[in-house]
Structure 1
Amino acid sequence: MPNGNGRFPLALAHTAATLYYLQDATQAEIADRLGTSRATVSRLLREARDRGLVRIEVLPLPQEDPGDLADRLAGALGLQQVRLSAPTSPAHVPEAVSPVLAEVLTSLELAAGDVLLVSSGRTVYEIAQRELPPLPGVVVVPMVGGQDEPQAWYQTNEITRRIAEGIGGVPRFLYAPAFPGRQLRRSLVADPEFKRFTALWETARAAVMGVGAPPLQRESIPGFVPTGEAPLRDAVGDVASRFYDAQGREVSYEGADRLIAVPLEVLRAVPHRIAVAYGTAKVPSVLAGARGGCFTHLVTDPATASRLLAALEETA
């Protein structure tokens, strides 16, 4: 059947390909039809491909609809809402999630005098540099005291000032270190002005927070955090320097009672708690924070959302 150069007639290869690819005939059926062997049919099909009579295209996996992905993740995490940015590279996620956060904040319809809590951390610091929605008169309040660190994202009052400026709000500053000595803390707790400030935590309508990665895996962490202590080995994340384990339960450590930061039980009472988090390192932190009721909304990117769902399915 092959000619002198080892090839089959083009018409024969075309017939075999038509029967196989368009009419769903088996190779055995084609062999019977053409009066040849299955081995010959296999060679005919290969030749049809080699000579351009057949084109086989492997399509990429279909991308899940972002709305479906967000709804599935919100249901799996038990959150009120998950909002996703447009797909983008890891380096451009901060600028991609900022407009999504702006939409969420706008939807809350915060009025003048309403209190908006903000955390420190790299993510919220990045957001503070970008365009925010106008929320005139909203009172912006830090969730944690200042930290004696060189990185700008630990300077809570500066982050508060930037966000208040971006939304047209009113900043309220916390003039206290995040981790004071015991004597200073006693003085702070007794101070009437400090009491008036911490009362703002209890009247807040909304909060925007980053979610810290597991403390033992982080490149940058406040110096007051005793990462060598045994209890923190169980910590998988934090919000406002309040560390929690895989079930979302707060992890204590030596001196943790000195921390000047919104208590988790107070944070959980805030009606709208928005976490902004992305990246593989944050997956266990977000899962645990959701279990612990630290936030009601999540703003992230599609890649992180898919990783979160995959992690949930692995542990199901």
Structure 2
Amino acid sequence: MSDTGDRIDMHGDRRIDLAARAAWLYYEKSRTQDQIAAQLGVSRQIVQRLIALAQSEKLMRFQLIHPMSECIELAEKLTDRFGLQYCDVALNESGNVEDIPSVGLLAALYLENLLQQKAPVTIGIGNGKAMREVARRLQQMNRPQHKCVSLMGNLTRDGRASHYDVVTWLAERINAQCYPLPMPVVTNSIEERKVLQAQPGYKMLSALVDEASVLMMGIGYWGAEASLLMDGFITPAETRQAMERGGVGELLGSAIDSRGRLVDADYHPRLTSFSPTPSVSRPTIIVASGANRVQAVQAAFAGSLANGLITDENTARLILKDQHR
């Protein structure tokens, strides 16, 4: 995934955190350096340097003594529990259950590592509060060869734009090519959706999503403060119906039940978003924080709608704890 060669090009604290993770995987989990390189998305040479750094910084003494040790263990448990392709857990800096800044930074660092490579990369990106934080935390770069494509629209039915224009912010931060989806999240009619999706621009965006190296998105929950409702994309009546039909989470606009299946919501045939399609070769990563999103995250994994997670330690514990019930 990475073309960073034998450099470790990242912030100092992140460099130490990554060294702690590499050392833990090597000494505690008995992973090979090639396996660690694949899991962390770096070269084998960087893994060697990270392990050496962990030794020189005295992070290892029969057991990992770095503060990240518990987060690393939580990430491993989540990976094993849900069969994830990628998982990372942030230290909870705020002390609250929800810590979107820490999670957003961790997701931004993941993207920065991916964007280091010279070969063109296409990133499919969702909208919402968590993804806005990712874009805000991303370091400025000059990567005109890369492409950022939106996985969902940004307009209400009456043409009002949401303030979460994530794909534009992300592309501006890294000077990449930007492909927004300039259409309502939910249209007024099925016929309107068909007309919009028949346009050449939509088909081109669909092809870009298919070729994307990674898909990254937030996840919503249902209730009085559901993001689709608060942003004006669906009506209170449509919100109530999605909940009554068993909706526990919302992924790229779709209402899903506890098993990750689409609920029978009336607005679904008018939804213009792209559907996530996880595969072995492509991470589909949910960026989530907060107790109100725990059930939604579990549902997405139950339905194999995603294969990656970036969260904080408090949320990770809740996801693992509630899974026993």
TM-score scaled by structure 2?
0.68
Match of 1:95 in 2: 101
Q: Indicate how the Cα distance of structure 1 residues 174 and 83 shifts in structure 2: closer, same or farther if over 3 A, else same.
A: same
Match of 2:110 in 1: 104
Match of 1:274 in 2: 285
- For residue 172 of structure 1, report the CA deviation from its aligned partner: 0.8
For each residue in 1:297-316, what CA deviation from the matched residue of structure 2 results, as whole angstroms up to 9, or x when unmatched? 21111111111111112x2x
For each residue in 1:13-53, what CA deviation from the matched residue of structure 2 results, as whole angstroms up to 9, or x when unmatched? xxxxxxxxxxxxxxxxxxxxxxxxxxxxxxxxxxxxxxxxx
**Contact 2:155–2:161 (Cα < 8 Å) also in 1:** no
Match of 1:242 in 2: 254
Q: Indicate how the Cα distance of structure 1 residues 108 and 128 shifts in structure 2: closer, same or farther if over 3 A, else same.
A: closer
Equivalence map 1:99-248=2 (5 Å): 99-108=105-114, 112-132=119-139, 134=141, 136=143, 137-148=145-156, 154-155=162-163, 158-180=165-187, 181-213=189-221, 215-216=222-223, 218-222=225-229, 223=232, 224=234, 226-229=238-241, 232-248=244-260
Q: Indicate how the Cα distance of structure 1 residues 177 and 153 shifts in structure 2: closer, same or farther if over 3 A, else same.
A: closer
SS of the residue aligned with 1:208? strand
- For residue 135 of structure 1, report the CA deviation from its aligned partner: 7.3
- Residue 247 of structure 2 aligns with an amino acid whose one-letter code is A
SS of the residue aligned with 1:160? helix
2:80 corresponds to 1:75: yes
Q: Which is greater in Rg?
A: 1
Q: Indicate how the Cα distance of structure 1 residues 299 and 153 shifts in structure 2: closer, same or farther if over 3 A, else same.
A: farther
Q: Indicate how the Cα distance of structure 1 residues 117 and 63 shifts in structure 2: closer, same or farther if over 3 A, else same.
A: closer
Q: Indicate how the Cα distance of structure 1 residues 219 and 195 shifts in structure 2: closer, same or farther if over 3 A, else same.
A: closer
- For residue 82 of structure 1, report the CA deviation from its aligned partner: 1.8
- For residue 219 of structure 1, report the CA deviation from its aligned partner: 4.9
For each residue in 1:204-238, what CA deviation from the matched residue of structure 2 results, as whole angstroms up to 9, or x when unmatched? 1111100112x135354333251122665401111
- Residue 284 of structure 1 aligns with an amino acid whose one-letter code is Q
SS of the residue aligned with 1:166? helix
- Residue 110 of structure 2 aligns with an amino acid whose one-letter code is V
Identity of aligned residues (%): 25
SS of the residue aligned with 1:235? coil
Q: Indicate how the Cα distance of structure 1 residues 153 and 95 shifts in structure 2: closer, same or farther if over 3 A, else same.
A: farther
Q: Indicate how the Cα distance of structure 1 residues 69 and 221 shifts in structure 2: closer, same or farther if over 3 A, else same.
A: same
SS of the residue aligned with 2:80? helix
- For residue 271 of structure 1, report the CA deviation from its aligned partner: 0.7
**Contact 1:139–1:171 (Cα < 8 Å) also in 2:** yes
- For residue 105 of structure 1, report the CA deviation from its aligned partner: 2.3
Counterparts of 1:212 and 1:67, CA distance in 2: 25
SS of the residue aligned with 2:322? helix
Counterparts of 2:296 and 2:109, CA distance in 1: 24
Q: Indicate how the Cα distance of structure 1 residues 294 and 167 shifts in structure 2: closer, same or farther if over 3 A, else same.
A: farther
Which structure 2 residue ranges, 5 or more long, are not aligned?
1-66
C-alpha RMSD of the superposition? 2.9
Counterparts of 1:116 and 1:305, CA distance in 2: 25
Match of 1:57 in 2: none
Which moves more between the two structures, 130-139 or 203-212? 130-139
Task: Say how many residue pairs are matched.
Answer: 248
Counterparts of 2:242 and 2:201, CA distance in 1: 36
Q: Indicate how the Cα distance of structure 1 residues 240 and 119 shifts in structure 2: closer, same or farther if over 3 A, else same.
A: same
- Residue 197 of structure 1 aligns with an amino acid whose one-letter code is L
Counterparts of 1:79 and 1:133, CA distance in 2: 29
Q: Indicate how the Cα distance of structure 1 residues 243 and 206 shifts in structure 2: closer, same or farther if over 3 A, else same.
A: same
- For residue 289 of structure 1, report the CA deviation from its aligned partner: 0.8
For each residue in 1:133-173, what CA deviation from the matched residue of structure 2 results, as whole angstroms up to 9, or x when unmatched? 747222111111123299x99446x2111011123321112
**Contact 2:259–2:302 (Cα < 8 Å) also in 1:** yes
- Residue 268 of structure 1 aligns with an amino acid whose one-letter code is P
Match of 1:303 in 2: 314
Which moves more between the two structures, 73-82 or 222-231? 222-231
**Contact 2:219–2:250 (Cα < 8 Å) also in 1:** yes
1:293 to 275, 285, 304: 304
- Residue 99 of structure 1 aligns with an amino acid whose one-letter code is L
**Contact 1:144–1:178 (Cα < 8 Å) also in 2:** yes
Counterparts of 2:264 and 2:141, CA distance in 1: 38
Match of 1:22 in 2: none
